[in-house]
Amino acid sequence: MTFESILFYFFASLTIISTIMVISAKNPIHSVLFLILVFCNSAGLLMLLGVEFLGIIFIIVYVGAIAILFLFVVMMLNIKLVELNENTLRYLPIGSLIGLIFLFQMFIVLDKDLAPLSNVYTDITLYNWDKKIISFSNIQIIGQVIYTNYFYSFLVASMILLVSMIGAIVLTLHKQTNIKRQDIFKQTSRHFSRSIILKNTWPKK
């Protein structure tokens, strides 16, 4: 077994376990933390597949923005951390049925895609064009497209995420009146002659 296979089974097993913990955790904050772990393990799987850009996007967008936004929403709702007494095993039959239907649909869709091509294309000689072109990484190609053709869309999306993050921080911020705070405008707008006072500290003779 190669090192890449070990990493694949490691990330895949952690992803499955974290996914189960997301839907089975009774504490909503714990569910969000397990969801962040799912995103990190999925990013590791994408790195192993050679799509580095999608792996980095999973870390930056999903973990850095969406999961933190979920956590802010949970904090704003002020959900009491009470253990639920509801029996979750009653949802097991319908959940298993939906999972089996989903797996059956996946096998139907991927059946023809996973068929070997050697029986179909027998008289075609394949030519390796990779050695004739200049190779670029996925991050270079997608970054060039984003920052040239879709620059304004990328800028608008980043501004939306920034506004949503600031709004979540403002809504969850609790100010206390008994704490002395700095008045930045008053400090920066005063005159220089009134900001420094020279005092004689030498003792008088």
* CATH number for 102: 1.20.120.1200
Is 28 a domain residue?
A: yes
Mean pLDDT (the chain) is 76
Question: How long a stretch of residues is the chain?
Answer: 205
Is 198 a domain residue?
A: no
User: What is the predicted pLDDT for the residue at 14?
Assistant: 92
Residue 187 φ then ψ, to 5°: -70, -40
The single residue listed with the structure tokens 């600031």 is 166
User: What is the predicted pLDDT for the residue at 170?
Assistant: 76
Range(s) of the domain holding residue 61: 3-84+91-174
Is 133 a domain residue?
A: yes
Is 142 a domain residue?
A: yes
pLDDT tier at 13, thresholds 50, 70, 90: very high
Is 188 a domain residue?
A: no
Is 197 a domain residue?
A: no
Is 195 a domain residue?
A: no
Coil, helix or strand for 180? coil
pLDDT tier at 119, thresholds 50, 70, 90: low
Q: What's the total number of domains in the chain?
A: 1
Average pLDDT of the residues in 135-139: 73
Inform me whether the pLDDT recorded for 202 exceeds 50.
yes
